Amino acid sequence: MRNEAIEGGAAGSATNGRLDLAVLDQLYHKARTHNAFLDKEVPDALLKEAVELTVQGPTAANTLPFRVVFVRSAEAKERLKPTLSEGNLAKTMAAPVTAIVAYDRKFYDHLPRLFPHADAKAWFTGSEAFANATAQTNGTLQAGYFILALRALGLDAGPMAGFDNAKVDAEFFPDGQFKSNILVNIGYGDHEKLFPRSPRFAPEEVATIL
Amino acid sequence: MRNEAIEGGAAGSATNGRLDLAVLDQLYHKARTHNAFLDKEVPDALLKEAVELTVQGPTAANTLPFRVVFVRSAEAKERLKPTLSEGNLAKTMAAPVTAIVAYDRKFYDHLPRLFPHADAKAWFTGSEAFANATAQTNGTLQAGYFILALRALGLDAGPMAGFDNAKVDAEFFPDGQFKSNILVNIGYGDHEKLFPRSPRFAPEEVATIL
C-alpha cells in the first residue's frame, strides 16, 4: 500500500471531488435493507425520478435493458402475492410499493435510437443466447444503480430474490419478452425494526492489486 | 400521476433526506463512461475504499460474491492485453488501472460468517446451477454498486464487456473458482475526449405503476 492520503480529484482538473461522508453513509455505510416501512406515502414522482437516475448509468452499447413495474395498488399486490416465498410474503404485502425489476430480452430493437453511431442491433439479433446474457448482465447492473438511486432520493429499499420468477413472468409479462430479475420493497424504512447489520468482508479479502 | 412535490423523507422521521442535485449529477446525470484518462495517479487507498463501499451494498443472504483484481502494473497489463477486444485494446492499456470484476462461485463457503443466523450455506451447496446464478446476479448487482462507488470517490470509470472471458479466467483465475464478469477502466477522466452522451429512455418508456 502506498501511503497517500485518500483524496478526490477536484484540484484544478475537470474531474469531480470526493463526496461527503454523510453521502457515502446514506448510500453505503449506513444504508440498510428494510423489511418494515413507516406508514408514509411514496410519491409517484419519486419512483419516476429513481428510474430517470437509473437509466443514466452505463450499460454495454447503451443497451438499457432494465424495465420495472411498481406494484402499489391492492389489486396489483394481490396478483403478486402467490409468487412470493413464505419469508417474503407478509413484509411485501405490507410495503408501500414493490418494484418488479425485469429486463427486456428484445432490448436490441431500441438500439438504432439508443446507440445511433453503429449498427449495434445486428450484434445481438444473430444469437439469442448472447442477447439474453447481455440483457441479464446489464439489467442487473442497472438494478444496482436503481437500488442506490432510491437511497439517493431518501427512500429505503428491501431487495429480494425469494420469489417464483416463472409465476411473476406469467402474471405480469405473459408474452415472454420481459423476464423478472429481483423484487425491491420501497418506502420509508422503520429503523426500529431493523435486524443487526450482517458482517462484511474487509477490502483485502476480496480485492487484489497487481 | 399524483401532483405531490418531489421530496425526501427527512422531516422528523428517522429516514434520510434527498441528496443534493450536485451529488445526483456526479453519480448519475453528469457522470460519463470514460475512454481517456488524465496522467494522474489513482491511489491504492481509493481503490480499496471503493471496494469497502461496494461490499456494504445488499446481496441475497449477504452472499457478497463480488471479487476484483486491479490491474495496474505494466506486467499485469501485459497479461490482460491478449484478452481485450480490438476496440478496447489501446484505451485499456493506457488507463491508469483496469479492474477485473469477477464473482466467486464458492461464495457459500463464507456464509457461516457472513450470514450467521441461518445455515445459508446449505441453500446453495445442493445445486451448482443455483449457486452459479446467485453468484452471477449478486456479483453483478455489486458491480453496479462498485461503478457508483468509484464515482462517489471522485474517480471516473469506463466499464466494458468487450473482452474474452475465458482467456481472462485462464490467465487470472486458473483454478476455476472465480469467473470474470466485466472490466472497468479507472482513473481521472479526460473530459475533452468524451463522445457526446447517447440518448436515454424517458421513465415512462421503461416503468409502469400498477
In the prediction, which pLDDT does A16 show? Answer: 76
Comparing CA positions, the residue from A200, A208, A68, A169 lying closest to residue B172 is: A208
Contact in structure between B95 and B83 (CB atoms under 8 Å): no
**At A187, is the pLDDT very low, low, confident or very high (cuts 50, 70, 90)?**
very high
Which residues in A lie closer than 8 A to residue B29 (C-beta atoms)?
53, 56
A chain contacts of residue B72, beta-carbon cutoff 8 Å: 209-210
- Give all strands of the β-sheet with B156-160 in edge-to-edge order: A207-209, B66-71, B97-104, B178-187, B156-160
Selected for mutation to probe chain B from A109, A113, A201 (highest B CB count within 10 Å) is: A201
Which ipTM score applies to this complex? 0.93
Which residues fall within 8 angstroms of residue B186, CB to CB, at 6 or more apart?
A: B42, B47, B70, B95, B96, B97, B98, B99, B150, B155, B156, B157, B158
Q: CA dist A104 to A45, A62, A108, A137, A160, Å?
A: 23, 13, 9, 11, 20
Express each pLDDT in A34-80 by its tens digit. 999 999 999 999 999 999 999 999 999 999 999 999 999 999 999 99
> Which residue of chain B has the CA closest to A16?
B154
pLDDT value, residue A77: 98
Cα–Cα distance measured from residue A172 to residue A72, given in angstroms and rounded to the nearest whole number: 14
CA distances from B111 to A73, B65, B129, B179 (A): 36, 10, 18, 19
Q: What is the pLDDT of residues A82-120, one digit of tens each?
A: 999 999 999 999 999 999 999 999 999 999 999 998 999
Whether residue A9 is predicted with pLDDT greater than 80 in this model: the reply is no
Q: What is the rounded distance in angstroms from the CA atom of residue A208 to the CA atom of residue A116?
A: 38
CA distances A78 to A75, A161, A171, Å, are 5, 19, 11
The C-alpha cell at A122 is: 445486428
Containing H/E element for A122? Answer: helix A121-125
Please write the tens of the pLDDT for every residue from B107-133: 999 999 999 989 999 999 999 999 999
Among A55, A147, A206, beta carbon nearest to B201: A55
Phi/psi-derived region of residue A34, left when phi > 0, alpha when psi is between -120 and 50, beta in every other case: beta
Print burial letters for B140-178: b (CB count within 10 Å at least 16), e (below 16): bbbbbbbbbbbbbbbbbbbbbbebeeeebbebbbeeeeb
In whole angstroms, how far apart are CA A204 and each of A120, B69, B105? Answer: 39, 11, 18
HSE, CB side, 13 Å, CA atoms: give it for residue B17. 9
Using alpha carbons, list the distances in angstroms from residue A190 to A193, B62, B114: 6, 20, 23
Contact A35, A109 (CB under 8 A): no
Q: How confident is the model over B149-207, as pLDDT tens digits? A: 999 999 999 999 999 999 999 999 999 999 999 999 999 999 999 988 999 999 999 99
Q: Which residue of A has its CA nearest to B110?
A: A201
Helix (H, G, I), strand (E, B) or coil at A87: helix
Cα(B43)–Cα(B123) distance, rounded to whole angstroms? 39
Residue B7 has pLDDT above 90, yes or no: no
Give the nearest chain A residue to B51 (CA atoms). Answer: A203
End-to-end CA distance of chain A: 11
pLDDT tens column, A13-36:
345 799 999 999 999 999 999 999
